Structure 1
Amino acid sequence: MKVLHIITGLGIGGAEQQLRLLLRHLPLSCEVITLTHPGAVAEGIRADGTPVTHLGMTGNRDLTALPRLTRLIRAGRYDLVHTHLYRACVYGRIAARLAGVRTVVATEHSLGTTTIEGRPLTRGTRALYRGTEKLGSATVAVSDTVAERLRAWGIPGPRIHTVPNGIDAGAFRFDAAARAATRTRLGLPQDAFVVGGVGRLVPSKRFDLLVRAVAGRPGARLLLAGAGPERDALLSLAAGLGAADRIHLLGETGGGDDHGTAPALPALLATVDLFVSASREETFGLAVLEALAAGLPVLYVTCPAIDDLPAADAPGARRIGAGADALAAALRQHQEAGPHRLPVPSAVGHYDIAGTAGRLAELYALAAARP
């Protein structure tokens, strides 16, 4: 089976990194088209041996992209097209049908109750998504939470398949040497209490609460990995709280490669003593799982990947309230307890990337066999 993956962009992000990881484990011939932004993840996918084509789409309303995409799909003679992220799902489903590909699978990575991929969810956005979903063969939800939201939209239940994200747990195994080297590289005292966060710097991630909580803890430091429009506001907030020297915004960081001044994600997780996810709404919570794989204690507000499992499967992950007081209190407790690593919980093994790739390959075969 020859498979084409179409994704909106390949800058550093959860869905983009997940695609790269899947491509390493899918036992199929695959190629990738990115509609926009062939960034660091595109370079990584090419380095792994998978061809990547940049379509050069200029925006959501660049309708000239549709015939170009259709021609590429037709020329590639693909057996199946798999789309990722909203724009790619809308354009990719239409183009695949126009090109004569009858098996089209889409993964919904980031669907919230009021947002999609961090942007407000409008009536028009929902209508366009639902209309083009009918052109596909199956829709993949990365968690039961996302599957429920799709059903609430009116997507027929038999078309929805839950295939959770996966991680390569071995890549995040704690490395004491990497911890010491990264702290030296970032100018952090070896004995400092360091809190970590990962994600796009947007209001929905609520990193402002994390900045305030860390600023209120003498001696504590914060490492935030990610880029986004809230960067300057977060830096100004840290300065206003007198904690500019303890709040470190590292920019984008990759799952296994260094990019610019930011350390690779495994090195970053080895460096910190506590991981925090303050977002009220998540569709999976990949960063939480990666932190658990690194042996870190985790504080989170919501994480479907953990909440969908028995509590005993992730004893190192503690759910806290959404308010600032709950985060500040939990941060104080962890700082007073001192740094420590935990055994990797069974929840991490539940989301092994090899299992995710296997389930996806099974879905491909099932979708292709349907009349």
Structure 2
Amino acid sequence: MRALHIITGLGVGGAEQQLRLLLRELPVDCEVVTLTNPGPVADGLLADGVRVVHLGMAGNRDLSALPRLTALIERGGYDLVHTHLYRACLYGRIAARLAGVRAIVATEHSLGERQLEGRPLTGAVRGLYLAGERLGRATVAVSATVAERLRRWGVPEGRIHLVPNGIDAGAFRFDAAARRRTRALLGLPEDAYVIGGVGRLAAGKQFGVLIEALAQLPADCRLLLVGGGPEEAALRQAARQRGLAGRVVLAGESPLLPAPRDAQRPPLGALLSAMDVLASPSPEEAFGLAAVEGLAAGLPVRYAACPALEDLPRQSTAGAERLAPGAASFARALAALRAAGPRRLDVPGAVHHYSIARSARQLTGVYAQALAPTKGVTRS
């Protein structure tokens, strides 16, 4: 089987890095088209031996991209097209149908209650989304929460397939030497209590909550934020205004797996080793991958929303605790953890449940159904 994955961009983001992890596990001959931004994840895919094509799309309304993408699909002779993220799902499904490919799968990575990839969920966004969805055979939800949101939107049950995001747990195993090196590199004292946040620096992630919480914590506490995005300048300003500039470190984007462009940058596993707790203040998530990665690193995790953990039995999520949104709630919880002192926890069952190998097996089953002469109904 030959499959083409179409994604909006290949910068360092959750969906982008999830794609790279999946392609290392899928027993399928895969190639990738990125509509825009062939960033560090593109380098990583190329290093893995995956062919990556940059379509050079100029913006959301660059309709000239559609015939180029259609022609590329026709030339490739693909059996299946798999799309990721809103713009790629819309253009990719249309192009695949125009090219004569009927086995079309899309993964919904980011559907929230009020936003989709930062877009307000207006009637127009929903209508365009559903019109595009009808062109495919399967829509993959990365959590049971997203699957339920798709049902409420009107996506037919028979086209919704639950395939959770997955992680390579070994990449996050605690490493004491990496902890020392990373702290030294970032200027974090060895004896500091380091609160970590991982994710895109966007308004919806509400990392400003952690800056407000930090202001209520002892002076030995530091905040380490990992990620890039449009809120970086605002977060730096907020730290300065609270007199916390020396206690807040913005480490920038971090690769999940080594890539040539990021050879000198600590991977995410090393940054998690440098932390003492993982805090996720976002009140709305589609999955909550950072929380699962934090548990894989043996960190206590405090979060406002995480469908990945909320969908599992409580005994499999030991070490994680849901908090009410807001700085006061996080400050209280983080103060209690700091008072107890830094410690590494046993890795709970949730981490093993969200294995990338398991996700790849489930997705292979979705592909088989999409390629079948008649559609089946599945709940993976």
For residues 228 and 93 of structure 1, the distance between their equivalents in structure 2, rounded to whole angstroms, comes to 28
Structure 1 counterpart of 2:48: 48
Distance in 2 of aligned mates of 1:205 and 1:262: 23
Distance 2:316 2:334 in 1: 23
Gaps of 5+ in 2: 375-380
Runs of 4+ with deviation above 6 angstroms: none
Determine the C-alpha separation between the residues in 1 that align with 2:263 and 2:233: 19
The residue aligned with 2:357 is 354
1:1-371 aligned within 5 A? 1-217=1-217, 218-257=219-258, 259=262, 262-371=265-374
Distance 2:340 2:258 in 1: 32
Amino acid at match of 1:39: G
Report the Cα offset of residue 119 of structure 1.
Answer: 2.3
Query: What SS does the aligned partner of 2:30 have?
Result: strand
Cα contact 2:103–2:136 (8 A) shared by 1:
yes
Unaligned runs of 5+ in 1: none
SS in 2 for 1:335: helix
Hey, what's the Cα distance between the residues in 2 that align with 1:83 and 1:267? 31
Check conservation: 2:205, 2:281, Cα contact below 8 A: yes
C-alpha displacement of 1:118 = 2.2
Per-residue deviation, 1:315: 0.9
- Post-superposition Cα deviations, 1:253-304, rounded to whole Å, max 9, x if no partner, equal 1112373875210000000000000000000011111110000000001100
CA offset digits 1:50-70 (Å, max 9, x no partner) = 000000001110000000000
d(CA) in 2 for partners of 1:123, 1:339: 47
Q: Which amino acid aligns with 2:299?
A: L
**Distance change >3 Å, CA 14–CA 222, structure 1 → 2:** same
The letter of the residue matching 1:237 is: A
Q: Is the contact between residue 225 and residue 262 of structure 1 (CA under 8 Å) also seen in structure 2? A: no
The answer to whether the 8 Å contact 1:166/1:356 transfers is: yes
User: Residue 41 of structure 1: CA displacement?
Assistant: 0.3
Contact 1:193/1:221, CA 8 A, preserved across alignment: yes
CA contact 1:277–1:288 (8 Å) conserved in 2? yes
Q: Percent identity?
A: 62
Deviations 1:173-224 (A, max 9, x none): 1000000111111111111100100111111111001011113212210110
CA positional deviation for 1:251: 1.0
Higher relative contact order (CA 8 A, sep 6+): 2
Q: How many residues align?
A: 371
- Give 2:377's aligned residue: none
Relative distance call for 1:252 and 1:190 in structure 2 (3 A) is same
The amino acid of 1:295's aligned partner reads G
Q: Is the 8 A contact 1:250 1:261 kept in 2?
A: no
How far off is 1:113 after superposition? 1.1
